[in-house]
């Protein structure tokens, strides 16, 4: 390791603060604003958030410290860092290679979503929700003019019943295991094909396992139906007692929202299914990212982050402030912060762990690369804590920005990946005049967040060519950027029916986009994180390790060592085993 010659010409951050902003910029991204709120919604809020925080502290933070430590000690990006530490070729460089590949893969779908955020920013500037809103208002009036009162009442009763039933239904259904549901699905498909359904049922139910699944699901279905009847009864009484004016007003509001939602969904689906459109934006986004990376570490990345990160925080602050004055704010706060064990499944815990990696940019050497542009040997703990805190704070603020708005405008928190591109525009349309400004702020901040993350992904790949192959920065950035764009083509076209890959989903169950996300986020990052933890805890030369933690209180170092040696690897292995399907944690508990 004595060959570790300080490279005087190697790029450096201008200041520690600049490094923290750039690293936080990498961490804060689509993961925080697009993904975290919707997985929180899907996992019932409260308790999921607590478990996520525990994962961040117990696994995310220690691995973050490990990555920055290795980067600072090796003064190279991940392919070169291990070699430079040991002064010879070592198999640990495999972590770096996997990181380079993961970088390509993540970036290839990341830029597609980032491109959508650009599309929606532009749409907001031309106030795209306004024509949608006024068309919907017209159609709602037509509905009122042409529908009988009793049909309108029926419409309202069904709508309100569904809304009230939703939480109870989710709760009841959460008692079923995945295999029970799968068994039941197969059973239904088979029955529907049969001519004599009663006979088919008898035949299939000879299988004991199938029989118990079917009975369990049917029992839940009966309970749901019973709950539905109860709710419908009281809803009906309430609606019958409404005055004609109130009834018409409610029908109009609810119809208009349905229509706006339909049209918003249509707008998003148009974008999603138009490969060329998505690709065009992805290419434009890539150009911006290439420009920043080509600008250099201090003059490009650090300078961009110094402007983008404070702007991003100011925009989020503004949106949260707006949300605080909305009627749904209380509901949003209690949704995000009050734990309700009945709404979380064990697999939600694993999702929290997986997301901790993605959101902190861990497992593929991004933090290692950024750390390698730092020659300081102090402040490892403070830096890692700052980056982690910023990332976590922004993820929580993103929830407090999105949920008050969606709750106030009658949307479900569980809306899924479309939360940002469908539910939010719907709310913006309802807000009216200010809606346009909010919409611009919201999609603009999504774009900024994506940009500071994308440049870190591009930097990992580009720095390999710069460090190991002596390429010029500009050439490395342009080449890797364009190559990524090629990889992004099938992703951009993954939901386009004209694409060559349109059979992909039918064959594998996930479309190409989701396949890439799945491959990188569920496999490569946890695996990379596992090896990084093991390396930092067990393999890294003690002397180098101690040089990095000299200013750290001894007990913190000891705690870190235990986390990185035992706790983090053990938890990651459990997650990976679940993913391979060795066991299904929901069936166990
Ligand atoms: N952390 C970013 C987000 O939350 C994404 C990201 C940037 C990333 N660089 C990474 C994820 C490196 C994994 C590895 O959106």
Determine the pLDDT at residue 588.
Answer: 60
pLDDT in tens, 442-488: 999 999 999 999 999 999 999 999 988 999 999 999 999 999 999 89
Alpha helix (H) residue ranges in 31-128: 36-42, 46-55, 61-74, 78-86, 93-125
State the closest ligand 1 atom to the C-alpha of 357, by its place in the atom list counted from 1. 13
Summary mean pLDDT of the chain? 89
* Pocket of ligand 1 contains residue 63 by CB under 6 Å: no
pLDDT > 70 in the chain, percent: 94
Of the two residues 1 and 144, the one the predictor is more confident about is 144
Determine the pLDDT at residue 589.
Answer: 56
Vertex 163 angle, CA 161 and 166, to 5°? 105
What is the rounded CA–CA span in Å between residue 181 and residue 224? 15
- What 8-state DSSP symbol labels residue 432? -
What is the rounded CA–CA span in Å between residue 356 and residue 353? 5
* Pocket of ligand 1 contains residue 359 by CB under 6 Å: yes
pTM of the model: 0.87
* Pocket of ligand 1 contains residue 456 by CB under 6 Å: yes
- Those residues with Cβ within 8 angstroms of residue 74's Cβ, 6 or more apart along the chain or in another chain: 80, 81, 82, 83, 84, 85, 368, 372
* 262 CB neighbour count, 10 Å cutoff: 14
What is the rounded CA–CA span in Å between residue 520 and residue 518? 6
Domains and CATH numbers, the chain: 16-129+262-588 (1.10.4160), 148-259 (no CATH)
pLDDT higher than 60, residue 6: no
* Pocket of ligand 1 contains residue 361 by CB under 6 Å: yes
State the closest ligand 1 atom to the C-alpha of 521, by its place in the atom list counted from 1. 13
pLDDT higher than 50, residue 394: yes
- What 8-state DSSP symbol labels residue 76? S
Determine the pLDDT at residue 585.
Answer: 64
Q: How confident is the model at residue 430 (pLDDT cuts 50, 70, 90)?
A: confident
- Most ligand 1 atoms within 8 A of CB, residue of 31, 114, 460 to mutate: 31
Residue pair 401/323 in contact (Cβ under 8 Å)? The answer is yes
Of the two residues 166 and 94, the one the predictor is more confident about is 94
- Most ligand 1 atoms within 8 A of CB, residue of 22, 23, 24, 27 to mutate: 27
pLDDT in tens, 18-29: 999 999 999 999
* Pocket of ligand 1 contains residue 26 by CB under 6 Å: yes
* Pocket of ligand 1 contains residue 27 by CB under 6 Å: yes
Residue pair 383/23 in contact (Cβ under 8 Å)? The answer is yes
What is the rounded CA–CA span in Å between residue 526 and residue 357? 7
**Encoding tokens for residue 568?**
């983090």
| Residue nearest (by alpha carbon) to ligand 1 atom 9 | 361
**Encoding tokens for residue 421?**
């591109």
* Pocket of ligand 1 contains residue 358 by CB under 6 Å: yes
**Encoding tokens for residue 338?**
């009050």
pLDDT in tens, 516-525: 888 888 889 9
pLDDT in tens, 160-194: 898 888 778 878 887 888 788 989 999 999 999 98
Determine the pLDDT at residue 8.
Answer: 53
State the closest ligand 1 atom to the C-alpha of 27, by its place in the atom list counted from 1. 1
* Pocket of ligand 1 contains residue 369 by CB under 6 Å: no
- Residues written for the chain: 589
**Encoding tokens for residue 279?**
């690709």
Of the two residues 357 and 413, the one the predictor is more confident about is 357
* Pocket of ligand 1 contains residue 522 by CB under 6 Å: no
Return the percent helix, strand and coil in the chain, to nearest 5.
Answer: 80, 0, 20
Could you write out the three-class secondary structure of 241-307? Answer: CCCHHHHHHHHHHHHHHHHHHHHHHHHHHHHHCCHHHHHHHHHHHHHHHHHHHHCCHHHHHHHHHHH
Determine the pLDDT at residue 575.
Answer: 82
Determine the pLDDT at residue 508.
Answer: 62
What is the rounded CA–CA span in Å between residue 231 and residue 555? 57
pLDDT (mean) for 290-311:
94
- What's the longest Cα–Cα distance across the chain? 87
pLDDT in tens, 225-248: 999 999 999 999 999 999 999 999
Q: How confident is the model at residue 155 (pLDDT cuts 50, 70, 90)?
A: very high
Q: Which helix (H) or strand (E) holds 533?
A: helix 525-534
Centre of ligand 1 to C-alpha 523, Å, is: 14
Centre of ligand 1 to C-alpha 269, Å, is: 25
- What 8-state DSSP symbol labels residue 413? T
* Pocket of ligand 1 contains residue 366 by CB under 6 Å: yes
Tell which residue, 284, 224, 302, 289, has the closest CA to residue 20: 302
What is the rounded CA–CA span in Å between residue 73 and residue 344? 41
Residue pair 76/6 in contact (Cβ under 8 Å)? The answer is no
Centre of ligand 1 to C-alpha 27, Å, is: 6
- Those residues with Cβ within 8 angstroms of residue 180's Cβ, 6 or more apart along the chain or in another chain: 213, 216, 217
- Most ligand 1 atoms within 8 A of CB, residue of 23, 26, 95 to mutate: 26
Of the two residues 226 and 4, the one the predictor is more confident about is 226
Q: How confident is the model at residue 290 (pLDDT cuts 50, 70, 90)?
A: very high
Q: What secondary structure does DSSP assign to 541-564, as a single string? A: -HHHHHHHTTTS-HHHHHHHHHII
Tell which residue, 488, 491, 528, has the closest CA to residue 510: 491
What is the rounded CA–CA span in Å between residue 235 and residue 171? 21
Determine the pLDDT at residue 163.
Answer: 81
Residue pair 129/435 in contact (Cβ under 8 Å)? The answer is yes
Terminal CA-CA length for the chain: 49
State the closest ligand 1 atom to the C-alpha of 520, by its place in the atom list counted from 1. 13
Determine the pLDDT at residue 144.
Answer: 93
* Pocket of ligand 1 contains residue 364 by CB under 6 Å: yes
pLDDT higher than 90, residue 215: yes
pLDDT higher than 90, residue 285: yes
Centre of ligand 1 to C-alpha 32, Å, is: 9
Distances (CA, A) of 7 to 295, 372, 466: 20, 11, 13
Residue pair 516/108 in contact (Cβ under 8 Å)? The answer is yes
Q: How confident is the model at residue 4 (pLDDT cuts 50, 70, 90)?
A: very low
pLDDT higher than 50, residue 5: no
* Pocket of ligand 1 contains residue 113 by CB under 6 Å: no
Vertex 482 angle, CA 78 and 358, to 5°? 45
- Those residues with Cβ within 8 angstroms of residue 174's Cβ, 6 or more apart along the chain or in another chain: 342, 343, 345
Strand ranges, E, within 406-494? none
Radius of gyration of the chain, Cα coordinates, nearest whole angstrom: 26
Centre of ligand 1 to C-alpha 501, Å, is: 26
Determine the pLDDT at residue 311.
Answer: 94
pLDDT (mean) for 556-579:
92
Determine the pLDDT at residue 1.
Answer: 38
Could you write out the three-class secondary structure of 109-175? Answer: HHHHHHHHHHHHHHHHHCCCHHHHHHHHHHHHHHHHHHCCHHHHHHHHHHHHHHHHHHHHHHHHHCC
Determine the pLDDT at residue 2.
Answer: 37
């Amino acid at each position: 390791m004595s060959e570790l010659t300080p490279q005087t010409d190697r790029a450096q951050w201008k200041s520690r603060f600049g490094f923290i902003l750039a690293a936080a910029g990498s961490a804060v991204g689509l993961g925080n604003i697009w993904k975290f709120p919707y997985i929180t919604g899907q996992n019932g809020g409260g308790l999921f958030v607590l478990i996520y925080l525990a994962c961040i502290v117990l696994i995310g933070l220690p691995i973050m410290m490990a990555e920055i430590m290795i980067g600072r000690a090796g003064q190279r990006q991940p392919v070169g860092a291990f070699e430079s530490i040991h002064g010879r070729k070592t198999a640990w460089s495999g972590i770096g290679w996997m990181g380079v590949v993961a970088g390509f893969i993540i970036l290839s779908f990341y830029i597609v979503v980032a491109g959508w955020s650009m599309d929606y920013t532009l749409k907001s500037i031309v106030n795209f929700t306004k024509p949608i809103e006024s068309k919907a208002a017209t159609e709602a009036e037509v509905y009122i003019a042409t529908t009988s009162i009793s049909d309108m009442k029926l419409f309202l009763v069904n709508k309100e019943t569904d809304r009230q039933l939703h939480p109870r239904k989710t709760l009841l259904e959460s008692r079923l295991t995945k295999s029970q549901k799968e068994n039941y699905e197969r059973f239904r498909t088979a029955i529907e094909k049969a001519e004599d359904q009663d006979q088919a049922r008898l035949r299939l139910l000879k299988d004991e396992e199938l029989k118990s699944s079917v009975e369990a699901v049917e029992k839940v279905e009966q309970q749901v139906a019973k709950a539905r009847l109860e709710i419908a009864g009281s809803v009906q009484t309430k609606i019958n007692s409404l005055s004609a004016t109130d009834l018409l007003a409610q029908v109009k509001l609810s119809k208009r929202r349905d229509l706006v939602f339909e049209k918003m969904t249509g707008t998003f689906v148009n974008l999603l299914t138009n490969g060329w459109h998505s690709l065009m934006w992805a290419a434009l986004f890539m150009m911006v990212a290439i420009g920043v990376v080509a600008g250099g570490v201090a003059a490009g990345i650090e300078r961009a982050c110094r402007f983008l990160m404070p702007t991003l925080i100011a925009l989020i602050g503004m949106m949260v402030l707006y949300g605080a004055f909305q009627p749904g704010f209380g509901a949003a706060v209690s949704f995000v912060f009050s734990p309700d064990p009945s709404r979380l499944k064990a697999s939600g815990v694993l999702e929290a762990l997986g997301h901790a990696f993605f959101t902190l940019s861990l497992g593929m050497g991004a933090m290692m690369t950024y750390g390698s542009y730092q020659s300081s040997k102090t402040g490892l703990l403070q830096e890692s804590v700052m980056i982690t805190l910023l990332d976590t704070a922004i993820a929580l603020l993103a929830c407090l920005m999105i949920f008050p708005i969606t709750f106030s405008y009658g949307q479900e928190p569980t809306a899924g990946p479309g939360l940002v591109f469908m539910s939010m525009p719907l709310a913006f349309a309802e807000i009216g005049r200010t809606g346009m400004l909010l919409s611009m702020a919201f999609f603009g901040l999504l774009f900024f967040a994506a940009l500071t993350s994308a440049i870190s992904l591009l930097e990992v790949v580009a720095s390999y060519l710069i460090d190991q192959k002596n390429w010029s920065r500009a050439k490395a950035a342009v080449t890797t950027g364009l190559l990524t764009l090629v990889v992004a083509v099938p992703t951009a076209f993954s939901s386009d029916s004209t694409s060559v890959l349109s059979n992909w989903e039918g064959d594998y169950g996930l479309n190409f986009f989701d396949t890439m996300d799945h491959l990188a986020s569920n496999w490569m990052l946890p695996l990379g994180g596992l090896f990084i933890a093991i390396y930092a805890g067990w393999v890294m030369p003690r002397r180098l390790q101690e040089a990095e933690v000299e200013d750290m209180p001894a007990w913190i170092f000891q705690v870190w060592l235990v986390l990185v040696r035992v706790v983090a690897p053990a938890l990651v292995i459990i997650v990976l085993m679940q993913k391979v399907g060795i066991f299904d944690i929901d069936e166990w508990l």
